[in-house]
Amino acid sequence: MTPPSIVILTGAGISAESGLSTFRDPDGLWQRVRIEDVATPEAFARDPAHVHAFYNARRTQLADVQPNAAHLALMRLEREWPGAFLLVTQNVDDLHDRAGSLPLHMHGELRRVRCLACGARHGWAADLSISTPCPSCAVSRLRPDIVWFGEMPMGMDRIEAALDGCGLFLSIGTSGNVYPAAGFVEDAAQAHKVELNLEPSAGSELFDEAHHGPATQVVPAFVDRLLREWA
Ligand code: BV8
């Protein structure tokens, strides 16, 4: 029997046990700053230094955290799965990448910047300011290469094509509040849909199966079971 193609969507919950804040939990980022002040193109146009400070702090924090057992379990699944596989993440951290996965960062990446003058994209680990020159054109109009609210997420054609034919859709560590990611469970109409999350998400009734608990427990357990079934 042909192994089903797998599409996985992850959110901030998969990085929580590595020490990175989620957004909508009681101690989440959006409880401390307003989306309108730091995560929209209008915010960046209005006060770029404030937006740079918000992302600089999060980019700096990446040096203090490590991938956890959930990231590593998904890397193992990506390597050992005999069928098609796509890992899509809403996260802008680099923990999937450092675990050895090849994620599609649909909301961009903290460790990349984009030049508003020449369009060049660069890997970036340091702070960014309004006077940082672009390595390609030397103009100082760099922004975080992150998808803000009101901007088109990245890789949507590839994601929609993968969802269209997938047999298994896994949603991990996301509250299901932000679109278009929150709609993927409905786009994967024909798939077996599984939610692995600390608690039921906003769209939990759309799933066929759910395992609730910390990602470092429920994700490795699910991956072990899946690989045993198909080994
Ligand atoms: C677009 C980058 C159109 C920034 C982000 C009204 C209705 C529907 C939609 C809209 C609407 N009004 C506006 C919209 C559209 C809007 C949207 O959906 N808004 C929401 C708030 C209603 N969406 C957009 O604007 C998107 N773009 O629509 O463009 C368009 C069309 C054509 C042409 C141009 C444009 C763009 C959205 C992307 C915004 N950028 N991130 C940054 O990171 O700074 S989204 C932001 O939310 C975060 O990045 C995050 O990725 C995303 C989702 O959050 P989660 O990952 O789910 O995190 P959250 O804290 O919410 O949940 C964590 C979960 O983990 C919880 O369930 C918790 O229980 C669980 N958990 C916690 N600990 C653990 C755990 N699970 C397991 N183990 C644990 N230990």
Tell me how long the chain is.
Answer: 231
The number of the ligand 1 atom at minimal distance from the alpha carbon of 182 is 18
pLDDT-based confidence at residue 1 (cuts at 50, 70, 90): confident
Q: Does residue 125 have a pLDDT over 80? A: yes
Instruction: Report how far ligand 1's centroid is from the alpha carbon of 117 (Å).
Output: 28
Q: Is the CB of 22 under 6 A from ligand 1?
A: yes
pLDDT digits (tens, 9 = 90+) for 172-198: 999 999 999 999 999 999 999 999 999
Q: Does residue 222 have a pLDDT over 90? A: yes
The per-residue pLDDT for 69 is 98
Q: Does residue 230 have a pLDDT over 80? A: yes
The number of the ligand 1 atom at minimal distance from the alpha carbon of 54 is 44
pLDDT mean across residues, the chain: 97
Instruction: Report how far ligand 1's centroid is from the alpha carbon of 14 (Å).
Output: 14
The per-residue pLDDT for 143 is 98
The number of the ligand 1 atom at minimal distance from the alpha carbon of 201 is 67
| DSSP structure string for the chain | -PPPPEEEEE-THHHHTTT---SSSTT-GGGTS-HHHHSSHHHHHH-HHHHHHHHHHHHHHGGG----HHHHHHHHHHHH-SS-EEEEE---SSHHHHHT---EETTEEEEEEEETTT--EEE--S---TTPPPTTT--S-EEEEE--TTSPPTTHHHHHHHHHH-SEEEEES--S-STTGGGHHHH-TTSEEEEEESS--TTGGG-SEEEES-HHHHHHHHHHHHHHHH-
* Report field, pTM of the whole predicted structure over 0.95: yes
Q: Is the CB of 17 under 6 A from ligand 1?
A: yes
Q: Is the CB of 36 under 6 A from ligand 1?
A: no
Half-sphere exposure of 161 (CA within 13 A, CB side): 7
User: What is the Rg, in whole angstroms, of the alpha carbon atoms belonging to the chain?
Assistant: 18
Q: Is the CB of 90 under 6 A from ligand 1?
A: yes
The amino acid at residue 71 is H
pLDDT-based confidence at residue 226 (cuts at 50, 70, 90): very high
Angle (nearest 5°) at CA 49 between 46 and 52: 110
The per-residue pLDDT for 199 is 97
pLDDT digits (tens, 9 = 90+) for 200-213: 999 999 999 999 99
Share of the chain above pLDDT 70, in %: 100
Instruction: Report how far ligand 1's centroid is from the alpha carbon of 179 (Å).
Output: 6
Q: How far apart are CA 110 and CA 49, in angstroms?
A: 16
Output the six-digit token pair for 223: 């991956």
pLDDT-based confidence at residue 128 (cuts at 50, 70, 90): very high
Output the six-digit token pair for 165: 């034919």
Residue numbers annotated as active site: 107
pLDDT digits (tens, 9 = 90+) for 20-76: 999 988 889 999 999 999 999 999 999 999 999 999 999 999 999 999 999 999 999
The per-residue pLDDT for 189 is 95
Is-contact 52 124, C-beta < 8 A?
A: no
Q: Does residue 231 have a pLDDT over 80? A: no
Torsion, CA 89, CA 79, CA 3, CA 189, rounded to 10: 0
